[in-house]
Amino acid sequence: MQYTATPRFLEQAPRYLFFTGKGGVGKTSIACASAITLAQAGRTVLLVSTDPASNVGQVFGIEIGNRITTIPAVSRLAALEIDPEAAAREYRERLVGPVRGVLPDEVVRGIEESLSGACTTEIAAFDEFTALLTDSAITRDYDHILFDTAPTGHTIRLLQLPGAWSGFLEAGQGDASCLGPLAGLDKQRSQYKAAVDALADAARTRLVLVARAQQASLREVARTHDELAAIGLTRQHLVVNGILPAAEAASDTLAAALHQREQDALAAMPEPLRTLPRDELALKPFNLVGLDALRGLFIDQTVPDEGDPGNHEANARSLAALVDDIAADGHGLVMLMGKGGVGKTTLAAAVAVELASRGLPVHLTTSDPAAHLTETLAGSVSGLEVSRIDPHAETERYRQHVLATKGKDLDQQGRALLEEDLRSPCTEEIAVFQAFSRIIREAGRKFVIMDTAPTGHTLLLLDATGAYHREIARQMGDKGMHFTTPMMQLQDPKQTKVLLVTLAETTPVLEAAALQSDLRRAGIEPWAWVINNSVSAARPSSPLLRRRAANELPEIEAVATEHARRHAVVPLLQEEPIGAGRLRALAGA
């Protein structure tokens, strides 16, 4: 397919465009470049970010924040960064404020606790931008509104559920998992309905699924396609971003291997994606920050060779050195966290295989819905137990338990409402948390290596862990009894080591730094950072890859000097680290 300066997804563009996909695939860059393209064509454009770690302002070189801000260098373009945490605070206050001083303090605290989780934050952010999907004073001046990070199927399913829980719970008939987040929906249900209708209207909305030419990325975006199509969002377009041009493979064995790997992934693309209209964008040698870079995103360019980018070392250790330190403890919980697409699954598998090869008992598990552990290991390993926290199986187990306990004395109407609530996605978060709690208890006698879901899902788990800890502390504190909660285990550096995984690129490093701040607020100190798939550490000879290697150096330096207490750099490899042998080579030498 020919690279083009006019992507197909911008032809006859509808009013609303949503850009979604795994972390690190280039959603923000493509959304920003699209906004510039439409504005330069004479259209008035509003670019909206709903990403908690939004870097739209950094891309344009100005401060944006939670207000509509004109982009001075681009006529007819404005931007807005929705702050999910600020939205959640306002949402909570809208619900709690009217009953403060009216209901007993204990009841008010209970309401506030029910609104403390990530479900509330997600719904509150949706609450903020639903106004942008309806005709209003805010939106009437814009021909196009572009969203960087589309609403998930999780959020839309929440908003489609009936709003009958409040009376049900006030009557003391049940224990719905989404009461807090959903308690305020009824007043704005008509606005939410209009927003969901707009999303499902192909004449008004186009969903742009962004992926890389990698098997895991394409599988993930296929899953997103299916989830959104199942709730009526069918007007979808695929963008495969960052494809290494064939010309770069001519005289560089690394570039040749990467190019072939990408072509193989495209040839094996999941069937649901093959029927979608598609654009392929070439990998760029530069960081996509600033107007000149964004204007060049949709244009193919020849890259001059600027020579060796220099030394990538910045007091970095090898992954093998980190594994030596981990092994010295004999047991414990090791959690790998970070954006989607940074290679957590591969690194978790590499650490687990190396520990098992030393004769240590290891349980490798994942809480990632995509769950690629089996493909990465490509076979069994002696001494290594492998499991997956299956959200569907855990949710069904939890549903049956609740129906057998909370629901056993309900009448037909009450049981029907309880069953409806248990179909909400919040139920899945609770069920996954319970499975997570069971597994991490094993770390007292063996190594538990956890490949976590992408950052947002991980924070949901931590929210549930924190809420559980606070509840137990309230119940047990007055009795003076000794207790240990999962949160206490995560906070204890003798029991838990958190490895933050990133790429040597601006957005993954920023998001890893934001995650580190969130963890520290929860009393969890990350043990190490791992910079994965480093081009500079691979010493390429391709002109394009040399330029990218040079661009990595400031990011590696920032990790070494500003963010990490200890860090390792893992080079980009010619062969994918699949199978026990290659995984051991990655972590053991």
List the catalytic residue out of 22, 27, 344, 497: 27
Could you tell me which of 344, 300, 297, 290 has the C-alpha nearest to residue 498?
Answer: 344
List the catalytic residue out of 21, 23, 24, 242: 24
What distance lies between CA 89 and its chain's CA centroid? Answer: 22
DSSP, residue by residue, 12-43: T--SEEEEE-STTSSHHHHHHHHHHHHHHTT-
Q: Is 288 left (phi over 0), alpha (psi -120 to 50) or beta?
A: beta
Q: Is there a contact between 50 and 147 (Cβ–Cβ < 8 Å)?
A: yes
The tokens of 62 are what?
A: 């100005």
Active site residue 29: yes
Instruction: Report CA dihedral (100, 105, 110, 116) to the nearest 10 degrees.
Output: 60
**Cβ-proximal residues to 192 (8 Å cutoff; 6+ apart), any chain:** 126, 130, 159, 185
Active site residue 444: no
What distance lies between CA 373 and its chain's CA centroid? Answer: 18
Could you tell me which of 145, 158, 156, 160 has the C-alpha nearest to residue 224?
Answer: 156
List the catalytic residue out of 20, 28, 50, 458: 28
What distance lies between CA 479 and its chain's CA centroid? Answer: 40
List the catalytic residue out of 21, 23, 26, 338: 26
Could you tell me which of 22, 74, 58, 558 has the C-alpha nearest to residue 287?
Answer: 58
Active site residue 175: no
List the catalytic residue out of 29, 224, 346, 455: 29
SS3 content of the chain, % helix, strand, coil (to 5): 50, 15, 35
> Is the dihedral angle over the CA atoms 372, 373, 377, 378 positive or is it negative?
negative
Active site residue 4: no
Q: Is 216 left (phi over 0), alpha (psi -120 to 50) or beta?
A: alpha
What distance lies between CA 417 and its chain's CA centroid? Answer: 31
DSSP class of residue 560? I
Could you tell me which of 367, 522, 532 has the C-alpha nearest to residue 458?
Answer: 367
Per-residue burial over 388-399, b if 16 or more Cβ lie within 10 Å, else e, is bbbbeebbeebb
The tokens of 456 are what?
A: 């947002």
Q: Is there a contact between 52 and 514 (Cβ–Cβ < 8 Å)?
A: yes
List the catalytic residue out of 22, 23, 34, 51: 51
Active site residue 421: no
Per-residue burial over 529-551, b if 16 or more Cβ lie within 10 Å, else e, is bbbbbbbbbbebebbbbbbbbbb
> Is the dihedral angle over the CA atoms 257, 263, 266, 267 positive or is it negative?
negative
Q: How many CB atoms lie within 10 A of CB 119?
A: 26
Could you tell me which of 86, 49, 85, 42 has the C-alpha nearest to residue 64?
Answer: 49
> Is the dihedral angle over the CA atoms 119, 123, 128, 132 positive or is it negative?
positive
Is residue 424 classed exposed, middle or buried when 0-12, 13-18 and 19+ CB atoms within 10 A define those classes?
Answer: buried
Active site residue 51: yes
Q: Is there a contact between 261 and 576 (Cβ–Cβ < 8 Å)?
A: yes
Active site residue 27: yes
Catalytic residue set: 24, 26-29, 51, 507
